[in-house]
Amino acid sequence: MRASALAKTSAALLALLPANVLLASPASARHAPLERQARYVAMGSSYAAGPNIGQSADTPPNRCARSAVNYAHLLAQAKKLALTDVTCSGATTAHILGPWDTIAPQISAVTPATQLVTLTIGGNDLGYMTAIGIMRCPRASEDERKRYFGGNCPAPKPITAQDEEALKTRMASIIQQVRKQAPEARILIVQYFSLMPASGNCPATGLTDGEVPQIRAIGRRLAKLTVDVARENGAGLVPLDRISAPHGLCSKEPWMNGGNPDMAAKDGAPYHPNAAGMAAAARLIATSLR
């Protein structure tokens, strides 16, 4: 999809939304527009990092798999911001607040001079992508089962209300810590992209008709949780789940990859955003900053 067409699509979607959908806390609403070279820290997991989209943002590439055209980089280019991108594929909330082996806590990048923080986190805490892998495991080849699961397919792990409350608590702690380290920073929770179709199924999902609703339910629970966290903690929210829904896996113009993308095309990882999705996300975040 061409950039001009994608921009028109994003604008049309925004026009259909109520004015209060791009949420901003009372505190963030008082912020003046970001000036050029304002310091921006992007934190989060693979849905923010953008694995396998174009060129790596890191030289040499590392296991965080940050793309040079993920939403943070595109936003920084558009708004002329000074970006520190510490997003990392596979990250959980624990890796925002604490180290991950040799990788420093993501939050250590936030300083008193930071003026904008974006956060996309929580999917790995709830086992979002793991659930898809477990469902597909019985249909995988023996080599794939050995590579990803040690040979045996694990039993699915249901998400409990306690899991959700624990995640909300950890996300609230992240917001509180950002405020402590950067009192003047705007904080935007950028939701995960909507993945599964609202109804039905298609080959791109790589899942059975019975599995799709289960993964859809995880996505919806994660979306609701992020709305609640933003509202309860006075953070801004970029409602990517709702706005990306017409561009899910079974759409004509998907912002996500299905289960078996052409990895050589460098347009994203399986069940992750593609370049069109990242471009749309960057525009939506830019809109929320106006």
Between β-strands 82-85 and 114-120, what pairing exists: parallel, antiparallel or unpaired? Answer: unpaired
251 given a catalytic annotation: no
Catalytic residue among 46, 56, 67, 288: 46
Whether residue 72 contacts residue 44, with contact meaning beta carbons closer than 8 Å, is answered with no
Please provide the DSSP assignment of the chain as one string: --HHHHHHHHHHHHHHS-TTSSB--HHHHTPPPPPTT-EEEEEESHHHH-TTBSSBSSSS--TT--BTTSHHHHHHHHHT-EEEE---TT--HHHHHS-BTTBPPGGGG--TTEEEEEEE--TTTTTHHHHHHHHHGGGS-HHHHHHHHTTSPPPP-PPPHHHHHHHHHHHHHHHHHHHHH-TT-EEEEEPPPP-S-SSS--GGG-S-TTTHHHHHHHHHHHHHHHHHHHHHHT-EEE-HHHHHGGGSTTSSS-SB--SS--GGG-B--TTSB-HHHHHHHHHHHHHHT-
| Terminal Cα-to-Cα distance of the chain (whole angstroms) | 26
46 is catalytic: yes
CA dihedral for 71, 275, 96, 29, sign (positive or negative): positive
Q: Which of 10, 89, 272, 288 is catalytic?
A: 272
Token readout for 278 is 């990242």
> Which residues participate in catalysis according to the annotation?
46, 272
